[in-house]
């Protein structure tokens, strides 16, 4: 069973390396180049809303850096590193939505489903392999890019600070730098679990709809409209909005989070204690059953 799952997951990685290996790496690489260029004085970015240049390190700022408490310093550095990784996470997030919509639709479209189904692999195993890919593997593929980006940012900034006599080289390198990578990976796994109902819904549409995007969107839009007209509520819409956002900032999360911060492992247990999480898991079980049933019975290979 483990060999089969390993093989199936490797197949997913091979098929979707563009979305989950090349695209995040390209984004990380561009960000690394931009950051290094700014710190080495080659360029800067100044817009009305965003200012990223070494000019911010004026005398007042430098004084603040020297006077900052270790806690305040760590908080700012950690938050900054998290923000740096957001473009990569957004890229992978869109990649996951596209993957979910296409993974079962593409195999119908190119009729490779006939080949996959000629192998001694149950539909449930196939669905489980795709779930494991989304929940556990994709975050693992993303992490090296975040590590690369954070390392380049820290190194560039440290070289800048030491060569300009602002602070010592080791100023930025708090003990959190490496341990936060573990928090990030756990957080990404939690994020994938949190958003799983959305991914599974898109996968379900791919198993039956001739136009998967229409098949995924129309039932949801109709439900939202009917719910608004009949019950004057918007539970479905809020559910979707919540699931598309960060799990630690969801309405149902027990601790309000006003600032950008690195989540702690204990936050994941808080998520597991919420009713909203388990409602999502129940929806996942129903959707997995639906996907297995539809994939095993639908012999319509027409996908537009």
Among 67, 71, 120, 255, binds other proteins (CB under 8 A): 120
**Window 150 to 209, contacts with other proteins (CB under 8 A):** none
Q: How far is 83 from 90, CA to CA, in rounded Å? A: 11
State the CB neighbour count (10 A cutoff) for residue 175.
Answer: 9
CB 118, min distance to other proteins, A? 5
Distances in Å between the alpha carbon of 13 and those of 42, 83, 140?
Answer: 37, 27, 11
Among 46, 47, 48, 118, binds other proteins (CB under 8 A): 118
User: Which region among 121-129, 144-152, 211-219, 271-279 touches other proteins (by CB under 8 A)?
Assistant: 121-129
* C-beta of 208 vs 239, nearer to other proteins: 208
Per CB under 8 A, 210 contacts other proteins: no
- Is residue 22 near other proteins by the rule CB under 8 A? no
Q: Which of 11, 210, 211, 249 binds other proteins (CB under 8 A)?
A: 11
Among 111, 169, 261, 289, binds other proteins (CB under 8 A): 111
Backbone phi, then psi, for 230, in 5-degree steps? -80, -50
Under rule CB under 8 A, residue 4 binds other proteins: yes
Q: Does 109 bind other proteins (CB under 8 A)?
A: no
Scored b (16 or more CB within 10 A) or e, 94-118 reads ebbbebbbbbbbbbbbeeebeeeee
Q: Are 243 and 280 in contact (CB under 8 A)?
A: yes
Question: What part of residues 68-107 is at the interface with other proteins (CB under 8 A)?
Answer: 107
Helix axes 176-208, 265-272, angle to 10 degrees: 40
Task: Decide whether 3 or 69 has the Cβ nearer to other proteins.
Answer: 3
Q: Is 125 in the site for other proteins (CB under 8 A)?
A: yes
Give whichever of 107 and 180 is closer to other proteins, judged by the CB atom: 107
Task: Give the residue, chosen from 42, 45, 86, 119, that forms a contact with other proteins under the rule CB under 8 A.
Answer: 119
**Is residue 297 a contact point for other proteins (CB under 8 A)?**
yes
Q: Using CB under 8 A, which of the segments 21-29, 156-164, 270-278, 294-302 binds other proteins?
A: 294-302
Return the exposure string of 182-212: e unless at least 16 CB atoms fall within 10 Å of the residue's CB, then b.
ebbbbbbbbbbbbbbbbbbbbbbbbbbbeeb
Candidate ranges 8-16, 30-38, 162-170, 275-283; the one touching other proteins (CB under 8 A)? 8-16
Tell me if 132 contacts other proteins by CB under 8 A.
no
Query: Which residues sit at the interface with other proteins, rule CB under 8 A?
Result: 3-4, 6-8, 10-11, 14-15, 107, 110-122, 125, 296-297, 299
């Amino acid at each position: 069973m483990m060999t089969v799952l390993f093989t199936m997951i490797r197949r997913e990685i091979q098929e979707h390396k563009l979305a989950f290996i090349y695209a995040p790496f390209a984004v990380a690489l561009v960000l690394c180049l931009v950051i290094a260029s700014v710190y080495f004085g080659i360029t800067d970015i100044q817009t009305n809303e965003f200012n990223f240049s070494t000019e911010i390190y004026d005398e007042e700022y430098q004084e603040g850096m020297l006077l900052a408490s270790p806690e305040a310093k760590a908080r700012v550095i950690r938050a900054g590193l998290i923000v740096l990784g957001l473009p990569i996470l957004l890229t992978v997030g869109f990649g996951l939505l596209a993957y979910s919509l296409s993974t079962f639709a593409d195999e119908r479209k190119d009729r490779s489903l006939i080949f996959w189904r000629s192998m001694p692999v149950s539909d449930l195993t196939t669905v489980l392999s795709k779930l494991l890919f989304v929940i556990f593997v994709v975050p693992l593929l993303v992490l090296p890019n975040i590590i690369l980006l954070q390392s380049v940012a820290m190194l560039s900034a440290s070289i800048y600070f030491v060569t300009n006599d602002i602070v010592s080289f080791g100023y930025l390198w708090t003990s959190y730098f490496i341990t936060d990578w573990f928090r990030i990976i756990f957080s990404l796994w939690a994020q994938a679990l949190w958003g799983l109902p959305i991914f599974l819904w898109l996968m379900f549409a791919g198993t039956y709809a001739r136009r998967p995007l229409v098949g995924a969107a129309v039932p949801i839009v109709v439900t939202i409209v009917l719910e608004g007209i009949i019950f004057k509520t918007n539970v479905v819409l809020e559910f979707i909005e919540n699931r598309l956002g960060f799990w630690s900032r969801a309405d149902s999360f027990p601790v309000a989070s006003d600032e950008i911060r690195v989540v702690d492992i204990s936050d994941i247990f808080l998520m597991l204690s919420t009713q909203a999480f388990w409602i999502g898991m129940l929806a996942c079980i129903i959707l997995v059953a639906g996907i297995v049933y539809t994939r095993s019975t639908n012999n319509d290979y027409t996908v537009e």
